[in-house]
A and B are shown apart, each in its own frame.
Chain A
């Protein structure tokens, strides 16, 4: 088997006592691109954040494994070391820490002491990746996400994805707030990652992104659960008909969990 496997089993997640996820089951393998779609407020972003270990989310039930190792037992940094990556919807701004120092620390955190990436190699790789993502070179020396526009933040998330080369990446609304040109650039970066050692979970409520990044599997989330799964044709149908037919099929009136996703 090539690549890693992320298994999410019957995951229940609460925030401040309110249950948001109510039993999510999902398995992502190396080489696969999954899309999780659904209207706002159905729990998509909660799924992304909870798997990475966001401090506000409490796991009330269920299990998460990466290559058989218990993810929920791990600290956030250990989850990253195990191969997980989360491209965040709202990345933090960190004053005084340059983008490039941060990236180098992140890369070196995965390497043994004494085996740190050489500065030359790092700069070369960073330059090349920034070119591909059509990023301004001075962004390397700017403070991490500080004063970045929405589009710059998203590109910066993808820059990190490409430099860190995780086994499994979760992309949380990487398309939100992007114009069509930026969307194409970001998609180009993500597509470049595609190989049998890389699995990806794309969270979006627009089908638009999937025109550029073809998913192998598509899941629909409502009321904190995955209510329907299928192939790329499912995304196509959602684009044409919206979500109402699924709600009708399942007898759902309000698809939200009473909490913005």
Chain B
């Protein structure tokens, strides 16, 4: 006898939810179709992490936070992520699935840039959203969590940069889960049309402790059309009680670039997938991630870059520090398809463990179906060198401070290279908090 997982949300609920949001018909259909699939599809199987006992399916779905009258009303932990001195904010804050603050500069509006919540985007730019929503990026039927997401999506933003528009100032989105048990099914789409460029930075924040269980299911789709460039930065900082599935996926056309700078600093169980499809000739994908694990959290990070276009370049760099009883698996996969000649795939995964109970694993993998390519990988998993600590402490530095220096030093090669200044600064702060 097979055990059926009850998803707890039925056709009637999903229909009502979609209608309540005045969604276009195509979205309602997509949701209902996805709901059916969610019942039969298997869970994802991240390499080397067993997730069958993780809670992805028990949650409170429909909760709405309050609007903010001013940025000054933000709690301090959130304020750290906002530059309040800016005159013109390109800032979006979502508080428990509700838009709490949204601002986009007039000049960007005039150029046709869209930066708005998913629901508004669907109502005002239905065709545009439909063109990208779970079509060429993430598919509904990949597994139960993608289908469940499609059925129950309840937040997110849509970014569109028209042809030839260069967005100089970063766009920032903050997804703030204030209610400790609210489930977030967040969907982000970033589209950079031909010859355009944009920097987008997002933060997922919550403060729930281990007993306050919540579920987060995040899908993100990034499209860089011909000769476009997207710099995508994130500092994830969800609380210990939140189980997270986050899938960030990019599709790069000819001469396009997608750069990921991900600070994956959740305190709860996390499955993170970051895939980049290099479809066009001469496209580039660069996936950098750092993580600090603590407590008894388990995490699995997979960065995969798939080369279809000729002379495409893919770089993966992952550094993780595991404290206490934390466990993390880092998979870095470079896949070069037949025909993607002159391509280059590089991966580097490094894990530093700070205690005897911490566990880490680094698996750089190259899968190559083409002869005329270059590729390389490097990996290391190790504990803090007691000689390094002895050396630092022999100068009067305490063990705690010595460990802090070693951790910062270990993460520095990635943090230093992150292309977005705001992410670098936020990340340094979060690392500091997690290390102490």
Contact = CB atoms under 8 A, between A and B. Distances in A.
A6 B401 CA distance: 27
Given A55-B386, A55-B390, A94 B395 contact: no
Given A75-B399, A77-B398, A92-B388, A97 B393 contact: no
B127 to A, nearest CB: 48
B395 A97 contact: no
Interface string B374-411: 00000000000111101111111111011001101111
A80 B390 CA distance: 11
Contact of B409 (A75, A94, A164): A94
Contact of A97 (B385, B390, B399, B406): B406
B112 interface: no
A203 to B, nearest CB: 15
A164 B396 contact: yes
Nearest to B408: A96
Interface in B324-352: none
A106 B409 contact: no
Contact of A75 (B393, B408, B411, B412): B393
B413 interface: yes
Interface residues of A, number: 28
B394 A52 contact: yes
Interface string A110-130: 100000000000000000000
B357 to A, nearest CB: 19
Contacts of A81: 396
Contacts of B413: 95-96
A53 interface: yes
Contact of B393 (A80, A88, A95, A164): A80
Nearest to A92: B391
A92 B396 contact: no
Contacts of B387: 55, 92
B320 to A, nearest CB: 14
Given A97-B409, A105-B405, A80 B395 contact: yes
A90 to B, nearest CB: 8
Interface string A71-83: 0000111011100
A147 interface: no
A109 B391 contact: no
B408 A94 contact: no
Interface in A35-91: 52-55, 75-77, 79-81, 85-86, 88, 91
A212 interface: no
Contacts of B397: 77, 80, 105-106, 109
Nearest to A109: B396
A143 interface: yes
A102 interface: yes
Contacts of B386: 55
A34 to B, nearest CB: 19
A252 B409 CA distance: 49
Interface string B264-279: 0000000000000000
Given A55-B386, A92-B387, A97 B394 contact: no
A85 to B, nearest CB: 7
Contacts of A52: 390, 394
B321 to A, nearest CB: 11
Given A53-B390, A55-B387, A92-B391, 16 more contacts: A53-B394, A77-B397, A79-B394, A80-B393, A80-B396, A80-B397, A81-B396, A92-B387, A92-B392, A94-B392, A96-B411, A97-B406, A97-B412, A105-B401, A105-B405, A164-B396
27 contacts: A55-B387, A55-B390, A75-B399, A77-B393, A77-B394, A77-B396, A77-B399, A80-B395, A86-B394, A91-B391, A92-B387, A92-B388, A94-B388, A94-B409, A95-B409, A96-B408, A96-B409, A97-B408, A101-B405, A105-B397, A105-B405, A109-B395, A109-B396, A109-B397, A109-B401, A143-B409, A164-B396
4 closest cross-chain pairs (CB), A and B:
A96-B409, A96-B412, A80-B396, A106-B395
Interface of B: 385-388, 390-399, 401-402, 405-406, 408-413
Interface of A: 52-55, 75-77, 79-81, 85-86, 88, 91-92, 94-97, 101-102, 105-106, 109-110, 143, 160, 164
